[in-house]
Amino acid sequence: MYKYDEIDQQIVDERVAQYRDQMRRFLAGELTDDEFRPLRLQNGLYIQRHAPMLRIAVPYGMLSAKQLHKLADIATQYDKGYGHFSTRQNLQLNWPKLEDTPDILAELATVEMHAIQTSGNCIRNITTDQFAGVAPDEVIDPRAMAEIMRQWSTFHPEFALLPRKFKIAVSGTLQDRAVVQVHDIGMEFYRDANHKIAIKVWVGGGLGRTPILGAVIREHLEWQHALTYCEAIVRVYNLHGRRDNMYKARIKILVKALGIDEFRKQVEAEWLHLKDSPNTITEAELARVAQHFADFDYESLPAQDASFDTAVASSPAFAAWVKRCVHPHKTSGYRAVTLSLKPHGKPPGDASSEQMHVVADLAAQYSFGELRVSHEQNLILADVKLSDLFAVWEKARAHGLATPNIGLLTDIICCPGGDFCSLANAKSIPIAEAIQMQFDNLDYLHDIGDIELNISGCMNACGHHHVGHIGILGVDKDGSEWYQVTIGGKQGNDASIGSVIGPSFSAEEMPGVVQKLIEVYIKERTPEERFIDTARRLGIAPFKAHVYAKNEVTA
Amino acid sequence: MNSLIQLKNGVASLASDDWTIVQLPATQVEARKQAGKVVLFKLTGEESVTTEQIENTIIPATGKIIVPLSVFIARHRELANRVAENEVGVWLATHELLEHLIQHQTDINELPIIAIFVERFADGRIFSLGTLLRSRYGYKNDLRAFGDVLRDQLFFLKRGGFTSFVIRADRSAADAIASLNDFSQPYQGAVDEPRPVFQRYNRGT
């Protein structure tokens, strides 16, 4: 993964000094709340319900074992001994002290980490596929370009105070796993007819209050122009996006108001001036950054391993884990492994300091000292030998990291919700836990098969509920917490936004509602049909009928 | 107390201000918000300047003045002599269009100063306006930020081509100067240094 040189290190060190002074001025009363807010937010610091929340950047989800050890230590020393991995591949601490945050940032800088632009109205952490570099269906490893874009967007002086937050995702696979269509800018890397790296650019996607899939603004962009083309897009947005109403301020609203054709016309006109300007990426720079993501020194291994086959045959529990948590790798004899942060009855995405140390040790021992965070809020060891899988499983299982539920109903994507977040209308973690306990039967879960259930505690949609096959949104009605249910949302190349099935439910009703949705699916599905396929084929009607039928009977 | 910071050849110092900002009088007309539908382009909801405001603007008879764009355009005849004497600059609010200035004033380098008024410090349009004035329209003279100008935005303003900064009156300009140098080697190219770090520094191969 990318290693800092003296330039990178100086920037994070200078940031710590700058932030320390901003905090000093705030505590001394030289900065008002309103003046300090954008400064602290661009350092990932929120003022939350119980305590501040600090969001630490994990650029495109990549972590080293050393960094994860440091995060675990920070969580122990400055927090309550755990952290929360978010849907934007970052790590959130829920209980730091305001005045400690400069020291936390200084600690992070010692392991080439920071919290720069993890919040605020600026270009945020750039996200990508958790299997970048190892996925068999990968065409281009997008991480080098993601790092180049991270550097470009860091303290970009023209885009320091945008109308609203701005999220970029990059992907280089046939099957999109980075959800590029729901980002402000989505970049899909591919090889063009001349076998050159090219980019298909999407713009104006997003979830939140107004969920919209992005539109294609350019089918073919040569990679050298990635930065200048983004500059053109963000400049048009910076000048013309709405600033009078924060709910209408995302780029998607501007794109929708102008129409994609007019928006494209303005961006292309701007780009004519920027094309080939000095921010054009050079071959040398791409090569310099790309070498940090070069393949590891993989052993030549056969596709089969006898000890692995024996373990699968003799241990049903191991076999179940392999089926759900082990993923193909482009190199013979290697696999990628997902360590589930979704044990039933625990907050999705949370990891204790002890678990973080365990995962860091596993990464050091079995996966070249690196790991990734997925936007589904799990941790990934991307390069494990087939013959090591059993040992990894045993250690992961001993620490609650091997629930074989990846891609199943209980692998719930969930925001921190009303327990922590001051924006939330409703709690989300207790709903996730209740659903996990309702379906705490692995055979039944495996029978239900591939399904994605996403929960957000408010319309800001941090839990990506619109693209969940089942989506749950916490809403506030007359001061009490209710939950609106959607079905038919999906991420990926054929992304879609879910449809609301009807009036919302109380928290107590939610496990039963999900149960009824699943019952309709089990009854109606054809062989090999996933929940999403059944939902798309039938529409919401039969689901709605079954879910609301009970109310009519008991009424 | 001095509130003006002037950059000369990259060196910042406190300076005395010999320019007077000419303000528009307050409008009596109730502001009508453009609810995002009225005009294709301007969706941001700012009110526009009225004819009465332009006519009622009091322009000092002597001295160096920075006038609002709308006044500069509408009352250019009475300003022409003073423009020739290098005594007139123009200021724009962040929602105003640079194109209107350029259409009216073919050679903007005849203006010794252009200023941008930022009503709220969090309004980042000012950075794009500065960048465009310098890189698109080739403006070479003093580019000034005034209004809600605070020290934590100075580094970005400097990188966007601004050369003078009127710090908000209740804050110390002397303290603010330090923030112009918050970072020593920025990653990306911008107005003050167009080359990104990979073009100006050997980062190895």
Band of residue A49 on the pLDDT scale cut at 50, 70, 90: low
Cβ-defined contact of A22 to B41 (cutoff 8 Å): no
Could you tell me which residues come within 8 angstroms of residue A554 by beta carbon, excluding any fewer than 6 positions away? none
pLDDT of the residue at B49: 86
Domain A306-398 in CATH 3.90.480.20: yes
A interface test, pick of B39, B46, B188 with most A CB neighbours within 10 Å: B188
Q: Please give the CATH topology (third level) of the domain spanning B59-200.
A: TIM Barrel (3.20.20)
Cβ-defined contact of A239 to B183 (cutoff 8 Å): no
Residues of chain B with pLDDT under 50: 30-44
Query: Averaged over A102-109, what is the pLDDT?
Result: 98
- A313 reaches B (C-beta below 8 A): no
**Closest-CA residue in chain B for A30?**
B171
- A343: its two tokens: 């044990």
pLDDT of the residue at A51: 76
Q: For residue B196, what are the CA distances in angstroms to A123, A188, A225, A364?
A: 18, 24, 14, 35
Phi/psi of residue A161, nearest 5 degrees: -135, 80
- Give residues 359 to 418 of A whose Cβ lies within 8 Å of B: none
Residue of higher predicted confidence among B40 and A336: A336
Cβ-defined contact of B189 to A279 (cutoff 8 Å): yes
Separation of alpha carbons B180 and A365, rounded Å: 46
Q: At the top level of CATH, which class does the domain A413-554 belong to?
A: alpha beta
- Cβ atoms of A334 and A385 closer than 8 Å: yes
Contacts of A160 in chain B (CB under 8 A): 124, 127, 153, 156
Cβ-defined contact of B124 to A248 (cutoff 8 Å): no
Band of residue A473 on the pLDDT scale cut at 50, 70, 90: very high
Query: Averaged over A67-80, what is the pLDDT?
Result: 97
Phi/psi of residue A194, nearest 5 degrees: -90, 10
How far is B198 from chain A, CA to nearest CA, in Å?
7
Strand order in the sheet with B142-147: B11-15, B4-8, B164-166, B142-147, B113-118, B88-93, B64-68, B19-21
Domain ranges within chain B, ordered by starting residue: 59-200
How far is A230 from chain B, CA to nearest CA, in Å?
13
Cβ-defined contact of B125 to A151 (cutoff 8 Å): no
Q: What is the pLDDT of residues A173-184, one digit of tens each?
A: 988 888 899 999
Cβ-defined contact of B36 to A257 (cutoff 8 Å): yes
Domain ranges within chain A, ordered by starting residue: 6-109, 134-290, 306-398, 413-554
Mean pLDDT of chain A: 94
- A319 reaches B (C-beta below 8 A): no
Contacts of B205 in chain A (CB under 8 A): 284, 287-288
Equal CATH topology for A6-109 and A413-554? no
Cβ-defined contact of A244 to B188 (cutoff 8 Å): no
Separation of alpha carbons A443 and A449, rounded Å: 10
Beta-strand relationship, B64-68 and A82-85: unpaired
Q: Please give the CATH topology (third level) of the domain spanning A134-290.
A: Sulfite Reductase Hemoprotein; domain 1 (3.30.413)
A289-317 burial, b at 16+ Cβ within 10 Å, e below that, comes to beeebeeeebeeeeeebeebeebbeeeee
Cβ-defined contact of A287 to B199 (cutoff 8 Å): no
Q: What is the pLDDT of residues B104-126, one digit of tens each?
A: 999 999 999 999 999 999 999 99
Assign domain A6-109 one CATH number from 3.90.480.20, 3.40.50.720, 3.40.1360.10, 3.90.1150.10.
Answer: 3.90.480.20
Cβ-defined contact of B205 to A243 (cutoff 8 Å): no
Note the ipTM here. 0.93
C-alpha atoms less than 13 angstroms from C-alpha of A413 in its C-beta half-sphere: 29
